[in-house]
């Protein structure tokens, strides 16, 4: 069914006049690798059973005003990424003329269908996504790239969406969701910062220590990167016509059973117990199901069983004693982990156990207090581009508490990572309904998605049966 999308307004929202002086923010070594990353796109769906007129007259002004107040503290989002002439390093610059592109639209799309768990055509969310404004080139050759754009779309008498497109170089997931919750809280409490009671972001880059000179190394690797290439990354891509996205929810009980099953299997095989967290076991299950589902996708023409498959994921360095970086730090503060397993092991009888051991081991490595994961950030982007189907990237995290983003109209009915719209991504999130549940989102070709869903259901059923037998057998004298 074709849905109409009507543009109502396009405007600019900036911090309150005079509230933020012109400010230059250098890029830390944590930020530099993300220059190579396509824009990130996150959408929030909210229930709103009223007319468009009511939305435009009551909610929209509040959204804009609270956004302006929020940008006073999160001004880098309304700034530009600057590439100076003469090979000087790029940086972020805020001037008092800067603002965020803010689009308002009205859609005839079916809100209930959009927030459901059922598979949806991959393009169905694209009209809700704002496009970043074009770059500017100044007379002296300085290149300016905008960092964020926002689109609010109302679906009359059912709901509305807030969708944000932003460049990863300015902020990682934790910094972005700090911004979103701050904006939501300011909106909910009508501009009262005291009632909103959220910590202010910390913009001081001096707290980022660089003992091994990673910034210099990364700048050398980026020396041939053209700003024009940064701007165009990820914006234009052909999407297969049969791709669908779907959300799967794992219950708290299912996750607990999965942890117990991995623990029992380790004892059974005389193996060291891996770092057993919800993240580790969830990623293990979904990764194995995805690899197994590829058989139907490729018509049995599978790659060699000896080929390595990689699961890439990010770990936050904030709030760790050895780094002294507070949770409120604004910017990027991620290291990268790569769990590597042969395909034959992933699709074998102990695939989930093999995956859990590899992922758990990599998580442990990243917690040892070194910047080992940071050193590989730049090279990982080359691998992402060259390994293709053999690399899967985890986007998001349940720890970011996406569903706590309440603008005053309740929790989101749904939130999705729109840029995770190809088979190279798996998105993870907390769940709206109950604590302890995990939302898993992925995009696959339609026939592969059906296969994936079947394999996932079979595994979840199997765990309960096998766990009951094995736990019982271990309890025998």
Q: Which two tokens stand for residue 62?
A: 């509040």
The percentage of residues in the chain with a pLDDT greater than 70, rounded to a whole number, is 88
Q: Which among 176, 167, 169, 174 has a CA at the least distance from the CA of 130?
A: 167
The tokens describing 107, both together, are 């859609």
Within this chain, domains 5-232 and 243-474 share the same CATH topology: yes
Average pLDDT of the residues in 167-184: 97
CB atoms within 10 A of CB 353: 22
Res. 285: pLDDT tops 90: yes
Q: Are 307 and 388 in contact (CB under 8 A)?
A: no
- Residue 64 CA to residue 8 CA, distance in Å, equals 15
Count H helices and E strands in the chain, helices first: 14, 18
Phi, psi angle pair for 30, to nearest 5°: -65, -30
Residue 184: both structure tokens together: 């939501």
Cβ contact 184:406 at 8 Å: yes
> What is the bridge-based pairing of β-strands 391-395 and 414-417?
unpaired
Question: pLDDT at position 163, please?
Answer: 98
Neighbours of 239 (CB within 10 A): 13
Give the tens place of pLDDT for each residue, 385-402.
554 558 899 999 999 999
Q: Given CATH 3.30.559.10, say whether it is the number of domain 243-474.
A: yes
Q: Is 26 helix (H, G, I), strand (E, B) or coil?
A: strand
pLDDT over 50 (residue 333): yes
Cα-only R_g, the chain = 23
| Cβ–Cβ < 8 Å for 416, 333 | no
Return the closest-CA partner of residue 16 out of 64, 80, 61. 64
More confident residue, 415 or 319: 415
Q: 3-class SS at 370? A: coil
Minimum mean pLDDT among 115-129, 232-246, 340-354: which range? Answer: 232-246
State which fold the 5-232 domain adopts.
Chloramphenicol Acetyltransferase (3.30.559)
Give the other-Cβ count within 10 Å of 216's Cβ: 12
3-state SS assignment for residue 371: coil
> What does the block give as tokens for 474?
């271990």
Three-state secondary-structure class, residue 213: coil
Q: How sure is the predictor about 145, in pLDDT bands with cuts at 50, 70 and 90?
A: very high
3 state SS of 320: coil
Catalytic residue among 110, 121, 210, 406: 406
Contact at 8 Å (CB) between 359 and 339?
yes
**Is 168 one of the catalytic residues?**
yes
Whether 13 has a pLDDT exceeding 80, the answer reads: yes
Q: Which residues contact 174 (CB under 8 A, 6 or more apart)?
A: 316, 318, 327, 333, 400
CB 374 within 8 A of CB 214: yes
Mean pLDDT over 440-461 rounds to 95
Evaluate whether 218 touches 441 at the Cβ level (below 8 Å).
no
**In the chain, domain spans:** 5-232, 243-474
pLDDT at 30 over 50: yes
Q: What are residue 315's DSSP bridge partners?
A: 335
Question: Which residue bears the tokens 């760790």?
Answer: 320
SS in 3 state form for 164-195?
EEECHHHCCHHHHHHHHHHHHHHHHCCCCHHH
Q: Which of 146-150, 358-362, 382-386 shows the highest mean pLDDT?
A: 146-150
3-state secondary structure of 374: helix
**What's the rounded Cα separation, in Å, for the pair 406 and 48?**
13
Q: Is 406 a catalytic residue?
A: yes
Q: Please determine, for residue 467, whether its predicted confidence score (pLDDT) is greater than 90.
A: no
Compute the mean pLDDT over every residue in the chain, rounded to the nearest whole number: 88
For residues 116 and 334, give the distance between their C-alpha atoms in angstroms, rounded to a whole number.
Answer: 32
Q: In what order do the strands lie in the sheet with 148-155?
A: 5-13, 100-107, 148-155, 158-166, 40-48, 414-417
pLDDT per residue as tens digits for the range 31-79:
999 998 889 999 999 999 999 999 999 999 999 999 999 999 999 999 9
Q: Measured between alpha carbons, how far is 439 from 248 in angstroms, rounded to an integer?
A: 6
Residue 476, pLDDT score: 32
What are 209's two structure tokens? 């220590």
Residue of 31, 73, 168, 419 marked active site: 168
């Amino acid at each position: 069914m074709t849905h109409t999308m009507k543009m109502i307004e396009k405007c600019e929202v900036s911090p309150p006049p005079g509230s933020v002086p012109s400010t230059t923010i250098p890029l830390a070594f944590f930020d530099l690798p993300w220059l190579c990353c396509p824009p990130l796109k996150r959408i929030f769906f909210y229930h709103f059973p009223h007319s468009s007129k009511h939305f435009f007259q009551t909610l929209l002004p509040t959204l804009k005003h609270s956004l302006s107040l929020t940008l006073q503290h999160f001004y880098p989002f309304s700034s530009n990424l600057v590439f100076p002439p003469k090979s000087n390093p790029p940086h972020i610059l805020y001037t008092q003329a800067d603002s965020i592109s803010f689009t308002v639209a009205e859609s005839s799309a079916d809100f209930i269908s959009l927030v459901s768990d059922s598979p949806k055509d991959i393009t169905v969310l694209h009209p809700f996504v704002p496009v970043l404004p074009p770059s500017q080139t100044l007379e002296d050759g300085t290149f300016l790239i905008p960092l964020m754009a926002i689109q609010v779309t109302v679906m009359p008498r059912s709901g509305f969406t807030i969708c944000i497109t932003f460049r990863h170089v300015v902020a990682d997931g934790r910094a972005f969701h700090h911004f979103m919750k701050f904006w939501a809280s300011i909106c909910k409490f009508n501009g009262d910062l005291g009632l909103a009671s959220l910590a202010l972001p910390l913009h001081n880059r001096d707290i980022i220590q660089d003992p091994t000179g990673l910034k210099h190394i990364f700048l050398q690797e980026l020396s041939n990167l053209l700003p024009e290439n940064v701007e165009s990354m990820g914006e234009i891509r052909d999407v297969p016509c049969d791709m669908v996205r779907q959300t799967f929810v794992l219950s708290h009980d299912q996750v607990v059973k999965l942890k117990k099953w991995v623990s029992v299997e380790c004892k059974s095989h005389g193996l060291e117990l891996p770092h057993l967290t919800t993240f580790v076991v969830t990623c293990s299950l979904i990764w194995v199901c995805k690899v197994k589902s590829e058989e139907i996708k490729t018509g049995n023409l599978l790659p060699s069983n000896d080929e390595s498959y990689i699961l890439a994921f990010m770990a936050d360095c904030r709030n760790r004693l050895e780094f002294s970086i507070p949770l409120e730090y604004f910017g990027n503060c991620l290291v990268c982990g790569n769990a590597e397993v042969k395909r034959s092991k992933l699709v074998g009888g102990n695939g989930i156990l093999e995956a859990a051991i590899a992922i758990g081991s990599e998580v442990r490595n990243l917690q040892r207090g070194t910047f080992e994961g940071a050193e590989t950030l730049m090279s990982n982007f080359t691998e992402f581009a060259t390994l293709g189907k053999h690399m899967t990237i985890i986007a998001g995290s349940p720890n970011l508490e996406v569903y706590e983003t309440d603008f005053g109209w309740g929790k989101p009915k749904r939130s999705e990572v729109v840029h995770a719209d190809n088979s190279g991504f798996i998105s993870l999130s907390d769940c709206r309904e109950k604590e302890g549940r995990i939302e898993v989102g992925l995009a696959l070709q339609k026939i592969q998605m059906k296969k994936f869903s079947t394999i996932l259901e079979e595994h979840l059923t199997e765990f309960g049966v096998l766990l009951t037998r094995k736990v019982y057998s271990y309890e025998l004298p």
